[in-house]
Amino acid sequence: MKEQNPEVSIVAPCFNEADNIDPLYEQITQTLTDKFNYEIIFVDDGSTDNSLAVLTRLQKADRRVRVICFRKNFGQTAALSAGFTHAQGKIIVAIDSDLQNDPADIPLLLAKLDEGFDVVSGWRKKRHDNAITRLLPSKIANWLIAKITGVKLHDFGCTLKAYRREVLAETKLYGEMHRFIPALASWSGARIAEMVVNHRPRTAGAAKYGLGRTFKVILDLITVKFLGSFSTKPIYIFGGLGLASALAALVSGLAVLYQKFISAQHLSMNRNPLLILTALLITTTIQFILMGLLAELLVRTYHESQDRPTYVIKEILESSGCPTDHVGDKK
């Protein structure tokens, strides 16, 4: 008899977390056993400690455990992406392996998901992290992400999230973009919810991120905003910048003509900085317009070559069988 696919897939990326893997496994099994049909996918992100040996032992002892081993450290986003791709459950829950996320919150996330949401994001309202290197940059980044994406979450960086499988099906992750999944899903029409989750102090291992991660997040945010707002119409942003540059060139050019023919300031044309500025702005205008047109060609080639639609269908309601003939006057 064929084994039934799990309802819930737990995806836990880990990098040098040998001391935390066993306790995490025990807490997940204690929380989910007898409540859900589940699997645990550990993604070893090129660990250099004893993590892989611990994971191998767990996998041999429990058929619900699956282990994906990277050849080297590719980062948390790549690890989550691999876990999402290989997950078999209809619901996918991501969780950190450092024990700061509490597995006891998983049933609460799933219950919230059952209320009709597509993504439930954890909110570490009371965090146990360093105030300077973690909390302050996180608050700034979360405020900036919420402002730019329009998705009002307090904690985009919390790994503990529950997703419906179909939300992740079309999501490709690069850089540090795993934190932007709620924003990407929201732009596709998904319903997003947030709930407070328990955040615990780290008791073993070392934190892998510091202030340097903030700058990567900001750069990824620019990319996400562009992809979300202009991925199918790049001419709007490049053309808009080009028109703004053209307007500035017009103002600068009129100022040059005013100084030359009307004002008492008879500056030599080749020494007038406004003339140079006007020429520069005209060149910039042409470049922006050409970049927009090239981006349009690339976008159309991308979508048409893969037969990739520019929309997302939630469901189709239709009657089965042949369509009914229209009733009209019979002659």
Instruction: State the pLDDT at residue 265.
Output: 61
For 101-140, what is each residue's pLDDT tens digit? 999 999 999 999 999 999 999 998 888 766 666 677 778 8
Same-domain pairing of 102 and 174: yes
Domain that residue 291 falls in? 234-305
Instruction: State the pLDDT at residue 257.
Output: 82
- Are residues 46 and 76 in contact, defined by beta-carbon separation less than 8 angstroms? no
DSSP states of 61-99: H-TTEEEEE-SS---HHHHHHHHHHH--SSEEEE--SSS
Q: Given 178, 209, 229, which residue is the final one in a domain?
A: 229
The reply to whether 326 falls in a domain is: no
The token pair that represents 181 in the structure block: 């999944």
Instruction: State the pLDDT at residue 326.
Output: 47
pTM: 0.73
Q: Which residues contact 194 (CB under 8 A, 6 or more apart)?
A: 120, 121, 122, 123, 153, 154, 155
Same-domain pairing of 240 and 220: no
The reply to whether 99 falls in a domain is: yes
Residue type at position 330: K
**CATH label of the domain that carries residue 169:** 3.90.550.10
Same-domain pairing of 191 and 301: no
Q: Given 182, 197, 229, which residue is the final one in a domain?
A: 229
Same-domain pairing of 240 and 158: no
The reply to whether 275 falls in a domain is: yes
Instruction: State the pLDDT at residue 127.
Output: 81
Same-domain pairing of 160 and 260: no
Same-domain pairing of 136 and 190: yes
**Burial call 192-208: b when 16+ CB within 10 Å, e when fewer:** bbbbebbbeeeeebeee
Distance CA 168, CA 130 (A): 32
- Please tell me the chain's helix, strand, coil percentages from 3-state DSSP, rounded to the nearest 5: 50, 10, 40
Instruction: Pick left, alpha or beta for residue 170 (phi over 0 → left; psi -120 to 50 → alpha; otherwise beta).
Output: alpha
Same-domain pairing of 209 and 291: no
The reply to whether 315 falls in a domain is: no
Instruction: State the pLDDT at residue 185.
Output: 85
The reply to whether 312 falls in a domain is: no
Same-domain pairing of 60 and 92: yes
The reply to whether 167 falls in a domain is: yes
Kindly give the pairing relationship between strand 91-94 and strand 192-196: unpaired
Q: Given 178, 197, 229, which residue is the final one in a domain?
A: 229
Dmax (CA) for the chain in angstroms is: 95
Instruction: State the pLDDT at residue 104.
Output: 94
The reply to whether 1 falls in a domain is: no
**Residues of the chain scoring pLDDT < 70:** 1-3, 129-134, 175, 205-214, 263-271, 302-303, 306-331
Structural domain tally of the chain? 2
Same-domain pairing of 141 and 253: no
Same-domain pairing of 204 and 274: no
- Are residues 119 and 191 in contact, defined by beta-carbon separation less than 8 angstroms? yes
Same-domain pairing of 243 and 203: no
Same-domain pairing of 45 and 160: yes
Classify burial at 267, counting beta carbons within 10 Å of its beta carbon; exposed 0-12, middle 13-18, buried 19 or more: middle
The reply to whether 291 falls in a domain is: yes
